[in-house]
Amino acid sequence: MLLHLSTWAEVGQFLERSRAIVVPIGSNEQHGPTGLLGTDWLCPQIIAYEAEKTADILVAPTFNIGMAQHHLGFPGTISLRPSTFIAAIGDWTRSLVAHGFEKILFLNGHGGNVASIEAAFSEIYAEASFAKRRAGFALKLCNWWDLDGVGELANQQFPTGHGIHATPSEIAITQWAFPDAIKPADYTPQIAPSGPIRDALDFRARYPDGRMGSDPGQASPEKGGELVKLAAQSLVLQLDAFSRESVPN
């Protein structure tokens, strides 16, 4: 069930049988010379939508702008400041909690979001802690590549040249979902360099074509489909386990 394609009454009916929701969250940023700018929000959305086809879960609209200041040296990147990102996550969470959702799983697709998402969770929980009351809800961060079995499959598919940005696994997922958007390239060097992540101009100078340690040329729609199907199955199981956790009132 997709929240944005549902009526308020349908969401109310869903809340009678489940208090859990998945929020795909990512970033709109450069992904090398062939990767789609939406890769980091598309991957969790693709996986969540695939999971929704086979299970009674609710998927929220995708939070598609994240913390990507280090990619602003490349045209098309849109970034929030960490403080803005944290505040927005707080308001999304408070809105969902006000309707009765008790388990909110953020399915993340951008490594650069992790620190800010965790900081947002701490800010939200602090509201209850300082008021000396129980929150009554739980938040969970899950990177799609950390879902059970997904990392192992990616390592089998891409034993070398996987890297940490514009990876062949994430490019493969978007190729599976959008085969008409596949773009070939002559990567030089074949495997991109690796190193630190700092400000935007430093990033552009270190990684001229936007890749970090990766060879996206290994990606294929077939490999992407394998990753999506496994990730979707793992997401359903993880959400079910999360849903079953008790939340004190």
Helix, strand, or coil (residue 111) = helix
pTM: 0.97
Query: For residues 216 and 248, what is the distance between their CA atoms, to the nearest angstrom?
Result: 46
| Phi and psi based region of residue 210 (left: phi greater than 0; alpha: psi -120 to 50; beta: remaining) | left
According to DSSP, the residues that pair with 28 across neighbouring strands are 78
pLDDT in tens, the chain (249 residues): 999 999 999 999 999 999 999 999 999 999 999 999 999 999 999 999 999 999 999 999 999 999 999 999 999 999 999 999 999 999 999 999 999 999 999 999 999 999 999 999 999 999 999 999 999 999 999 999 999 999 999 999 999 999 999 999 999 999 999 999 998 888 999 999 999 999 999 999 999 999 999 999 999 999 999 999 999 999 999 999 999 998 666
Residue 246, pLDDT score: 83
What domains sit in the chain, N to C, each tagged with a CATH number?
3-244 (3.40.50.10310)
Q: Is the separation of the CB atoms in 190 and 221 below 8 Å?
A: no
- 180 Cβ neighbours under 8 A, 6+ residues apart: none
DSSP secondary structure letters along 179-226: GGG------SSSS-------SHHHHHHHSTTS-BS--GGG--HHHHHH
Residue 249, pLDDT score: 63
- 66 Cβ neighbours under 8 A, 6+ residues apart: 25, 26, 27, 28, 29, 40, 41, 79, 80, 85, 110, 112, 113, 116
Q: Is the separation of the CB atoms in 219 and 172 below 8 Å?
A: yes
Query: Side chain identity at 147, as an amino acid letter?
Result: L
